[in-house]
Amino acid sequence: MITKSDYLKFLTCPEYFWFHKNKPEVLDTKELNEFELELVKSGQEVEAWGRKLFPSGVLVESGQEQAVADTKKLIDEGKRVIFQATFEAEGLYVMVDMLEWDENNQYWIINEAKGSTCDKEGESKNKKLHIYDAGFQYIVLNLAGYKVGKVNLLELNKEYVKKGEINPLQLITKTDITEKVHELEPEINENITGMRILMDQDNEPKLCDCIYKSRSNHCPAFAYLYPDMPEYSVHDITLIGNSPRRLEGMVEGGYLSIYDVPEDFELSKKQRIHVDVTQTGITINKSEEIKKFLDEIKYPFYYLDYETYPTAVPIYEGCRPYMQIPFQYSLHIQREPGGKYEHLEFLAEEGDENPMKALVESLKEAIGDEGSIIVWNKKFEKKCNENIGEVFPEYTEEMQKLNERLFDLMEVFQKNLYAHKDFEGKYSIKKVLPIFDPKLSYKELNIRDGSMAMNSWKKMVFEELNEVEKEQIKKDLLEYCKLDTWAMVRIYEELLNII
Ligand code: SF4
């Protein structure tokens, strides 16, 4: 049996599809991480809102073979809108999010809901993949003997701003992709033939294309297919995914470990720094440039970090889909050189009101009118401040002023003014901190990254928890965010010691 999700795997990579169907143990599929789980939930949320566009819809609740039989029964009974309508034909199996009967035209309409956002023209990031996905369903329904005349894609309208009750007609954009499905139909049919042949092949793949792709593309089969590949390989060179010809040159030249790359092999400046620092172990410390850069920081110093909660479907007034909503900040303050550090923080403990307002009220008291606001990756904090100004226009000016004071400490590392071999070509605070203060670590914390913080907050404010559980999450969140700002303090202090 080939399902729609098998097909999407095939589109990503035929070898992956083969392992998935014939030797799944190689893929060693781990549980989804918090971020991936959130993506799945977002898709489900959009689908739930999409269903509201079809008030007469009936849901097929069963699965597998039973779902096929139940769908047929509902159709025979004259049901005209079916959610999760399930079909099987010639070894292909699909579930249609919302199947709709068009009485005037006497055909079925496939409505495929996605968690992505699209613009006014119905353009979205992964649109082509969505068309293959819906096209596969179209073919299976036709094979099963159902006439499909139209295929729609349902996505979140990225311009949507919540005002009062959510109107699904405004929230969801329906794009007619029938023509595009027809264009891709021959290719999808070829893919189906390809999948059938591949699936029945006993010979397992011996090689795959990821040998020429950066680490982020690799699935667990990579280690299985290339058991001799060094753990820290040329696939890990910084931004190597943007230089496929260079990667190919290294692989073809037999330079597989980062340590093998010859001195004269042409790389970008950043890539060369990464390779040289790794091979020689010599740290780059452009102390004059770092000093000049750090001299721009003005007292009082405010080390700031936000934690945020974006939702696919906005839950607060004035918010858009996936808007980052800051619900927490940590602020370490040093008012003068050598001065003591003060720590202030805010955490919204309820979720019924937009936490931005209380956060900004607290922050504006704490952060004063002058002095640098030191952050790690200022794009993020800047965007959060803009979001606050957008949702609460009374703070727009204030937020603009805060943005003018932002100083991005990450740039020291992003621009390779300081580069250490243990950064492994990266510059996240979690990579940099251990070099400057090995005693400080995120590993011991219950919350160790932004996705965990987001999910923990959601749990704390929206789920039924007892006081002990709530207190624990609160403590974990405060501890995590505080470490982010304290880490910046320590990195700054240690930078001063070495320049
Ligand atoms: S490592 Fe890449 S090319 Fe190889 S099987 Fe996995 S996804 Fe496919």
Question: What's the pLDDT at 122?
Answer: 83
Using CA atoms, how far apart are residues 30 and 39, in angstroms rounded to an integer? 16
Residue whose CB lies within 8 A of the most ligand 1 atoms, among 217, 224, 235, for a mutation test: 217
Report how far ligand 1's centroid is from the alpha carbon of 210 (Å).
5
Q: Give the closest residue (by CA) to ligand 1 atom 5.
A: 16
Give the residues surrounding ligand 1 with Cβ less than 6 Å away.
13, 15-16, 208-210, 217-219, 221-222
The two structure tokens encoding residue 290: 């770092």
Tell me the pLDDT tens digit for each residue of 391-413.
999 999 999 999 999 999 999 99
CB atoms inside a 10 Å sphere around CB 461: 18
Report how far ligand 1's centroid is from the alpha carbon of 200 (Å).
19
Pick 2-200's CATH classification: 3.30.200, 1.10.1200, 3.90.320, 3.40.50.
Answer: 3.90.320
Using CA atoms, how far apart are residues 407 and 403, in angstroms rounded to an integer? 9
Half-sphere exposure of 120 (CA within 13 A, CB side): 1
Report how far ligand 1's centroid is from the alpha carbon of 208 (Å).
6
How far the first Cα of the chain sits from its last, in Å, is 63
Using CA atoms, how far apart are residues 114 and 116, in angstroms rounded to an integer? 5
Question: What's the pLDDT at 453?
Answer: 97
Report how far ligand 1's centroid is from the alpha carbon of 14 (Å).
8
Q: What are phi and psi of 147, to 5 degrees?
A: -85, 115
Range(s) within the chain of domains with CATH label 3.30.420.10: 290-498
Question: What's the pLDDT at 365?
Answer: 94
Residue 204 DSSP code = P
Task: Give the residue carrying structure tokens 């399930």.
Answer: 86
Contact residues for 68 (Cβ-Cβ < 8 A; gap 6+): 86, 87, 88, 93
The angle that helices 4-12 and 178-200 make with each other, rounded to 10 degrees, is 80
Report how far ligand 1's centroid is from the alpha carbon of 241 (Å).
14
Residue whose CB lies within 8 A of the most ligand 1 atoms, among 16, 226, 235, for a mutation test: 16
Contact residues for 65 (Cβ-Cβ < 8 A; gap 6+): 88
Using CA atoms, how far apart are residues 200 and 20, in angstroms rounded to an integer? 12
Report how far ligand 1's centroid is from the alpha carbon of 327 (Å).
39
CB 418 within 8 A of CB 285: yes
Cis peptide bond prior to 300, omega within 30° of 0: yes
Query: What SS3 class is residue 418?
Result: strand
Give the position, in ligand 1's atom list, of the atom nearest the Cα of 219. 6
Q: Give the closest residue (by CA) to ligand 1 atom 7.
A: 219
Residue whose CB lies within 8 A of the most ligand 1 atoms, among 206, 213, 214, 222, for a mutation test: 222
Question: What's the pLDDT at 406?
Answer: 98
Reduce the secondary structure of 450-479 to three states and give it as a string: HHHHHHHHHHHHHCCCCHHHHHHHHHHHHH
CB atoms inside a 10 Å sphere around CB 338: 5
Cis peptide bond prior to 14, omega within 30° of 0: no
Report how far ligand 1's centroid is from the alpha carbon of 236 (Å).
15
Stretches where the chain sits below pLDDT 50 are none
Report how far ligand 1's centroid is from the alpha carbon of 295 (Å).
47
Q: Could you give the ipTM of this predicted complex? A: 0.99
Q: Give the closest residue (by CA) to ligand 1 atom 4.
A: 208
Tell me the pLDDT tens digit for each residue of 282-318.
999 999 999 999 999 999 999 999 999 999 999 999 9
Give the position, in ligand 1's atom list, of the atom nearest the Cα of 222. 1
Pure H helices in 167-280 = 168-171, 178-200, 221-225, 244-252, 269-280
Question: What's the pLDDT at 29?
Answer: 67
Letter for the amino acid at 20?
H
Report how far ligand 1's centroid is from the alpha carbon of 211 (Å).
8
CB 114 within 8 A of CB 46: yes
Range(s) within the chain of domains with CATH label 3.90.320: 2-200
Q: Give the closest residue (by CA) to ligand 1 atom 6.
A: 219
Instruction: Report which secondary-structure segment, H or E, holds 93.
Output: strand 92-102
Give the position, in ligand 1's atom list, of the atom nearest the Cα of 213. 2
Q: Does domain 290-498 bear CATH number 3.30.420.10?
A: yes
Instruction: Report which secondary-structure segment, H or E, holds 308.
Output: strand 301-308
